[in-house]
């Protein structure tokens, strides 16, 4: 394939993308990478101040980026957010389901409360499902709709003392397979990325020994940073990946291998 042809396939200029949990960390890295690739982005988060600040910074730099409040624990918030994003951009071509909460870190299975379990499932699993369902109409109308769900390699190797989060990300992987078959009739691709332990604010709570465990277990012996994940995600949103669906791609430096 000629370089120019491949470059055209992976180009995202003008692509209308929705991102959840985009105010900081890995989500913010997605928003920035999309903006730099020329995409039009609407992102949501419960962190309103941080979200508005990021949107203002990127807009001032000439990018088409906007923020809207989003609480995945509230179904009405999800529906309102998707409608607002679609109206602002005139439709939706792609969705990155990135937002998630952990809450169960450091606790054994018998120490996790029912309230914590339900909160994690409401955001990570039900929220992902409702985002996909709310965006389906717009993605179908796009003609090149693409969804990337951010899972986690913790669900692949069975990370201990993180049960609710691990279970929720296992559910996201399973939903990705099922949704790919359902949404395929509308020409929508649905894939999942399973990052390893990534150096962001949200992983600051992770004990040093877990960071060391990952570092020593990777084929690539270095810390994982957000930029390691943005490339694979943007590829899955591009025309170069139009015949890739229902797949899970671990992105963890070889810590977990298929």
Residue in 123, 76, 77, 69 with CA at minimum distance from that of residue 98 = 123
**DSSP percent split of the chain into helix, strand, coil, nearest 5:** 50, 15, 30
Q: What pairs with residue 10 in β-bridges?
A: none
Which listed residue (165, 205, 213, 214) is catalytic?
A: 165
Q: Is-contact 27 5, C-beta < 8 A?
A: no
Cα distance between residue 210 and residue 139, in whole Å: 38
Which residues have C-beta within 8 Å of that of residue 232, sequence separation ≥ 6? 193, 249, 251
Q: Is-contact 169 151, C-beta < 8 A?
A: yes
Rounded to 5 degrees, φ, ψ at 254 are 85, 15
DSSP characters over 98-129:
-------TTB-GGGS-HHHHHHHHIIIIIHHH
Q: Is-contact 72 78, C-beta < 8 A?
A: yes
Q: Residue 205 catalytic?
A: no
The alpha helices in 122-162, defined as continuous H runs, are 127-142, 154-157
The set of catalytic residues is 165
């Amino acid at each position: 394939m000629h370089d120019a042809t491949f470059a055209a396939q992976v180009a995202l200029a003008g692509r209308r993308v929705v991102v959840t949990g985009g105010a900081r960390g890995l989500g913010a890295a997605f928003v920035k990478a999309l903006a730099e690739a020329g995409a039009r982005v609407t992102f949501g988060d419960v962190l309103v101040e941080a979200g508005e600040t990021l949107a203002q910074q990127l807009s001032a730099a000439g990018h088409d980026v906007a923020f809207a409040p989003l609480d995945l624990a509230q179904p009405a918030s999800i529906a309102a957010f998707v409608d607002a994003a679609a109206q602002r951009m005139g439709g939706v071509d792609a969705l990155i389901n990135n937002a998630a909460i952990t809450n169960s870190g450091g606790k054994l299975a018998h120490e996790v409360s029912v309230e914590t379990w339900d909160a994690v499932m409401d955001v990570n699993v039900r929220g992902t499902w409702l985002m996909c369902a709310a965006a389906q109409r717009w993605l179908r109308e796009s003609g090149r709709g693409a969804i990337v769900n951010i899972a986690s390699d913790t669900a692949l190797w069975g990370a201990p003392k993180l049960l609710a989060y691990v279970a929720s990300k296992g559910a996201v992987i399973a939903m990705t397979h099922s949704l790919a078959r359902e949404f395929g009739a509308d020409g929508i691709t649905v894939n999942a990325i399973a990052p390893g332990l990534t150096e962001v604010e949200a992983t600051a709570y992770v004990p040093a020994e877990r960071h060391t465990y990952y570092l020593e277990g990777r084929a690539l012996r270095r810390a994982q940073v957000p930029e390691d994940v943005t490339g694979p995600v943007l590829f899955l949103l591009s025309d170069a990946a139009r015949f890739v669906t229902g797949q899970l791609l671990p992105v963890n430096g070889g810590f977990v291998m298929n």
